[in-house]
Structure 1
């Protein structure tokens, strides 16, 4: 890396400079306010934004769930997408090393044996021949050396581009790691939400069955109409219809978590999740905008892509300039292999040639323009990714600011609906209420209970989304092949590959 940087200083083409950090102080207009529930509402867990604090490397541990920590570890160890990203780094690194080989002379050797037939051997002394025709063998051993000086820095720029591609693949690994850990956490929260919805639905079904039994007793006693009993049976059936879709979603969610852990669906994971065992993180770090640009792997990958495109402009310019090729050939020739090493059989040649494109139908010119257009494209893509990154953070912050009030409202609605249903149930037992009021109370409580579960799950998911939007946290001293232990919190014993070049 140091050699490449030194040589590229005099290479043709633009020298790459990292883009400037966006000149903003925050992600949303005005001062960032922490999530605040209403003071006169039900008590819900609070959260607080900590501006300027970095995200923890093991951010998912903030949910205080041992099964979640274990599942994340399994996923990082066995997910094939991460393994593919590691292989992509090796591929890019070997391509860069192969390009570096052109800084050195290229040496090839060959040994040939050719048979010749002489029609008039008397005219070709000193070959010993007999008769009007003779056949002889000529053995040639040859060593060829060629070298193309990198006078315009074209190869240096090519190496620079491939090094940037290697760095880009490293950031792609970080992005795959962040995406995987975020998907595992989000999928676990969704499983917990589905279990909560199933529990709420089963609770409602139990209540509706109890109400149906009351109506049946009243009907048998002549105190209730058959229509009311049938209406309650229909309401019970409708509630029971909600169970199979939820059970199907839960089963599919288990399959998703198993796949994220790198396992086949038949080998289902043992970890199970419910909302009661997922703690809502109280303190939420909000990295500074400059830190975001330096931490988001997709932004860093886009920057590396710009670097690669910038270097390719220099490669295209160098291809349009005159070039020098130095060649040397040496060897020996004799009439058999043993004699080819005897004194007096050697030969050598030295040559230098200069080539320059004169007219190629503007092919090289258009290739340079294409490389410059690719650089413009990568710059625009970088800006778009930065804008999206800031939008992701802003969306997560806004969601969290409203989630507290949404949970509070859903809790109030569930408590109120349950109290109303209890009153209606008592009135039904006393024969003081009609069936329509019973059905309305049941439906209201069912909807409120499910919405309360979904609201709590949304708040957990939006918290995970904030960690992901901020780029997670990849320790700066992590590298392959032991990056897993480092990223999961174990001390590394080597420095990061990108910093070692």
Structure 2
């Protein structure tokens, strides 16, 4: 075959390959996510425009607002900001996820390079050989050397897009990991905020409970003395003793929760449990007054878990194309050139030039139904991925609906608890004043303080719930959608196709 003829043949083959690759787009589903319902509001009941005022703060639900990337800064606590920054910087789990993502991107680059570009290898060989003697020629054996050095090239034409679709499937799976890394990063921030708030609240509860235990023990001792004097019944004495013991029994469990939370927070920050940070002051944390409520259509683009499900859908669609393309012909070209001979002078001379060029074409004919079964399996996997995408979206809607409802109910409960605590404190202040004047016995002052401390415990719990549920709502909103660049490639896609 002459060089011009070979060149024309190569051009025709390349054009045919491009046409077939374009046709490969119809080998499988497009990978577009299914249409999802767009509810008018997330929950069974429409969320109000704002919560009831609690502790002097009314939270407003800003419908249609964009998610807030560093939402934890809205709590206006430098100490909390420092904890989140440390965790994002030092968490071993997040670092491992980041390195796994980097490794996946390098694997993608390797696959693209090996599947879309020709391979060229250089090789050299020097051997000494002994041939068997041939009786008809003579009894002597033959000893000879072979010296060969050559370049070898190989290229498989992606006629029906099998390699391109396989690369697209791997790229989509890398995007899944990229979105999962984003989700892990946001989850880490939310867990740090939640743990810090919970630890601060448990610390405050322990202090209040310890005061309640002290009051109960004082009351039990007074009742014991009065029983010894015959002023109260034995049942009264046992009742006071039982109340004090019950309160004391609740304290170790509360301390265990507090220490476990502190230990968990230390690990989230990348520290050992013995280096757990000091508790924040619950009163210094300011609940954000405005929280975004992303509309459902935008939530599909802002939540990393939905974006990961979308990328998984595209990977499954590409797998169907790969399984289909494997049923069509495959064309490969190979060529080599170099020098060879039975001695170094001959191998390095013009007489030692060697070369070869060839093409191979293969068409699957019979594989025992394996190729057809693989395509059906890919289609079934794609259908399963579609259902998983739908479930992910529905779960996201539920997550937002639950956090919106929880935040509204937290505000209602906190408002009631705050009113109860203020009333109980007023009663306690008045009773203490009358006790100091000698108008009331000490038992009355203790009883009013017990009521105040119990109401204070409820207020601490609901304050903590409001702060943590606000964090959960910010987390549920996801990230601001990433704007697409040239050709519609997202930031995640661009990160794996550099």
**Distance change in 2, residues 1:266/1:7 (3 Å):** farther
1:266-293, Cα deviation, whole Å (9 max, x unpaired): 3323x42232111111111111112211
Give the drift of 1:201. Answer: 0.8
Equivalent in the alignment of 2:471: 464
3-state SS of paired residue (1:357)? coil
1:114-150, Cα deviation, whole Å (9 max, x unpaired): 41235259959xxxxxx83342222233332221101
Distance 1:251 1:452 in 2: 21
Q: Would you say 1:276 and 2:283 are equivalent positions?
A: yes
3-state SS of paired residue (1:100)? helix
Which stretch shifts more, 232-241 or 257-266?
Answer: 232-241
After TM superposition, list the pairs within 5 Å mapping 1:103-182 onto structure 2.
103-112=116-125, 113-117=127-131, 119-120=133-134, 132-182=140-190
**Distance change in 2, residues 1:118/1:418 (3 Å):** same
Does the 8 Å contact 2:21/2:158 carry over to 1? no
- Relative to the length of structure 1, the TM-score reads 0.83
Does the 8 Å contact 2:123/2:149 carry over to 1? yes
**Distance change in 2, residues 1:204/1:283 (3 Å):** same
**Distance change in 2, residues 1:363/1:157 (3 Å):** same
Give the drift of 1:349. Answer: 2.0
**Distance change in 2, residues 1:7/1:451 (3 Å):** farther
Does the 8 Å contact 2:20/2:160 carry over to 1? no
Give the drift of 1:370. Answer: 0.9
Distance 1:54 1:315 in 2: 38
Give the drift of 1:447. Answer: 4.6
Equivalent in the alignment of 2:208: 200
Q: Which of 359, 364, 380 pairs up with 1:352? A: 359
Does the 8 Å contact 1:67/1:272 carry over to 2? no
Equivalent in the alignment of 1:483: none
Equivalent in the alignment of 2:274: 266
Does the 8 Å contact 1:215/1:229 carry over to 2? yes
Give the drift of 1:100. Answer: 1.4
Distance 2:70 2:442 in 1: 56
Equivalent in the alignment of 2:68: 56
Q: Would you say 1:89 and 2:101 are equivalent positions?
A: yes
Equivalent in the alignment of 2:259: 251
Equivalent in the alignment of 1:185: 193
Which stretch shifts more, 299-308 or 93-102?
Answer: 93-102
Structure 2: unaligned runs, 5 residues or longer: 1-17, 485-489
**Distance change in 2, residues 1:249/1:29 (3 Å):** closer
1:199-252, Cα deviation, whole Å (9 max, x unpaired): 221232333344456546756776555654554344223222222221121111
1:136-186, Cα deviation, whole Å (9 max, x unpaired): 222233332221101111111111111111211111111001110111111
Distance 1:301 1:368 in 2: 24
Give the drift of 1:49. Answer: 0.7
Does the 8 Å contact 2:157/2:331 carry over to 1? yes
**Distance change in 2, residues 1:225/1:432 (3 Å):** farther
Distance 1:228 1:257 in 2: 44
Q: Would you say 1:292 and 2:291 are equivalent positions?
A: no
Give the structure with the higher percent helix: 2
Equivalent in the alignment of 2:43: 28
Equivalent in the alignment of 1:239: 247
Which stretch shifts more, 401-410 or 441-450?
Answer: 441-450
Distance 1:132 1:382 in 2: 76
- Relative to the length of structure 2, the TM-score reads 0.84
Structure 1: unaligned runs, 5 residues or longer: 125-130, 478-494
